[in-house]
Amino acid sequence: MDKIIQASYFVAAVLFIIGIKRMSSPVTARSGIVWAGLAMLTATVATFFWPGMHNYLLLFVAIGVGSVLAWVSGKRVSMTHMPQMIALYNGMGGGAAGVIAALELLKGAGLSQTTVVLAVLGGLIGAVSFSGSLIAFAKLQGIMDKAWVFPGQQALNLGVLASAAILGGIVMFTDSGPAPLAIFFLLALAFGVLMTLPIGGADMPVVISMYNAFTGLAVGFEGFVLNNAAMIIAGTVVGSSGTLLTQLMAKAMNRSIANVLFSGFGSAASQAAGTVTGSFKPIDADDAAIMMAFGSKVIIVPGYGMAVAQAQHKIWELAELLEKRGIAVKFAIHPVAGRMPGHMNVLLAEAGVPYDKIFDLEEINAEFPQADVALVIGANDVVNPVARTDPQSPIYGMPILNADQAKNVIVIKRGRGTGFAGIENTLFFMDNCRMLYGDGQEAASRLIQSVKKL
């Protein structure tokens, strides 16, 4: 039986790797999720035959309750709220790893020194991922402010982490009993909260990716503790892919991961920038339609505002109308547009936009000077020219989409508010930029009707 279980885990590992590989492309991402789901199903079924397994009733109840909750929430959640759902689910994985560590450490007897060390490390990382992900969820959901910064915050964070490390060492190398273990986990949970509090909303994609890596790492450690090959492989794959994605996201913002975690970007203290002069110049839908319909190239830049308005279907309808008039239409996606990696790609795919019309920053930036119109809908920080021009700006040095270099820029925006990073966008004040005010879906509908009249 043991050989069958291990063979099943090997099959699950292969399926996980195939699934993640297929998720790397929008064309195959859907099937990748199915492959990964089969991997999880295979590993779960095999685990029921693990020697000494008992409490089957509790297992079935837990799986049943979890499956129902996941199915209902997965069906009901909107794409706008998908990032916070991912943060919440990711936190649950880290919390599960922490619980496994706590239970194994409470048993105590029969654990090797190496096993205890791995259990403590996995418990620390899992607890941090759990509480940190919950704070990320609360920020994305609007339950709490985007960034909380107070004097001496980093010193307090360091003190809490050092205290947790000391207690972890005590648990590793002494027979300390349950009290130090409980305090260790409380400190780990507190550190996850404190580490996430000062991180601004604009950094949430990086933070979610980082906690995903943390959860994978914690699961991998606990796999060693339980001698469970499936957990080791799955945790390692998730941890490594999450780490790589975190590095790529930070690179897309031209910032180090340490800067994301400790700079307080997006907080009130970091939002000071030079005074912007000039005024917004409004445009009506008819004039905006004429600009686009009688041009030769239009580049559409979607952002989180498009997700909020659920305007992706209308935007694609507009793009199709323009294409019928012989106009080249392309979509430009910034790596950190939205609230999670790939957010805009998923929305556009949902609307039926062909993959060959969607371009990332490196592919599309050189084309903006040839574009008659850059249509920006709901994007803000990723098209802000201060990233190139103002060394005092918190986003200075971040690669942006060069929408400002188009011959004309039309921005669909509900009002004069700043983006998620809280920074004024100088693009909106430029001579070639016009503001089309309104909800994204409603404004796109007006543009569609105006184009049809031409």
Rounded to 5 degrees, φ, ψ at 167 are -65, -35
Per the structure block, which two tokens stand in for 357? 């019309």
Q: From first to last of the 454 residues of the chain, give the pLDDT tens digit.
A: 788 888 998 898 889 889 988 887 777 888 999 999 999 899 889 888 888 788 889 989 999 999 999 899 888 887 777 788 888 999 999 999 999 999 999 887 677 888 899 999 999 999 999 999 999 888 888 788 666 777 888 899 999 999 999 999 998 888 877 889 999 999 999 999 999 888 776 677 788 888 999 999 999 999 999 888 888 888 988 898 888 888 887 777 777 777 666 655 444 434 444 456 667 899 999 999 999 999 999 999 998 888 888 899 999 999 999 999 999 999 999 988 877 777 888 889 888 899 889 999 999 999 999 999 999 998 888 899 988 888 877 778 888 999 999 999 999 987 665 555 567 888 999 999 999 998 899 999 999 999 999 8
**Pairing state of beta strands 358-360 and 373-377?**
unpaired
210 touches 86 (CB < 8 A): no
At the topology level, CATH places domain 285-453 in: Rossmann fold (3.40.50)
What pLDDT shows up at residue 418? 54
Give the Cα separation of 159 and 153 in Å (integer). 10
Alpha helices in 294-415 (DSSP H): 304-309, 312-324, 343-351, 361-364, 386-389
What pLDDT shows up at residue 30? 84
Q: Which of 376, 425, 414, 438 lies closest to 278 in space, CA to CA?
A: 425
What pLDDT shows up at residue 201? 63
What pLDDT shows up at residue 397? 82
390 touches 374 (CB < 8 A): no
Give the Cα separation of 20 and 40 in Å (integer). 13
Question: Looking at residue 256, what DSSP letter applies?
Answer: -
Per the structure block, which two tokens stand in for 218? 């914690």
Q: Helix/strand/coil (H, E, C) string of 195-235? A: HHCCCCHHHHHHHHHHHHHHHHHHHHHHHHHHCCHHHHHHH
Beta strand extents in 191-308 (DSSP E only): 297-302
400 touches 383 (CB < 8 A): yes
One-letter amino acid of 292: M
What pLDDT shows up at residue 272? 44
For the chain, give every domain's residue range. 1-76, 77-232+245-268, 285-453
Torsion of CA 113, 119, 124, 129, to 10 degrees: 160
Is 286 buried (19+), middle (13-18) or exposed (0-12) by CB count in 10 A? Answer: middle
Alpha helices in 310-367 (DSSP H): 312-324, 343-351, 361-364
One-letter amino acid of 406: A
Any residues with CB less than 8 A from the CB of 210 and at least 6 apart, and which? 242, 246, 257, 260, 261
Whole-model pTM? Answer: 0.79
Instruction: Give the N- to C-terminal CA distance of the chain in Å, as an integer.
Output: 72
Q: Report the catalytic residues.
A: 381
195 touches 261 (CB < 8 A): yes
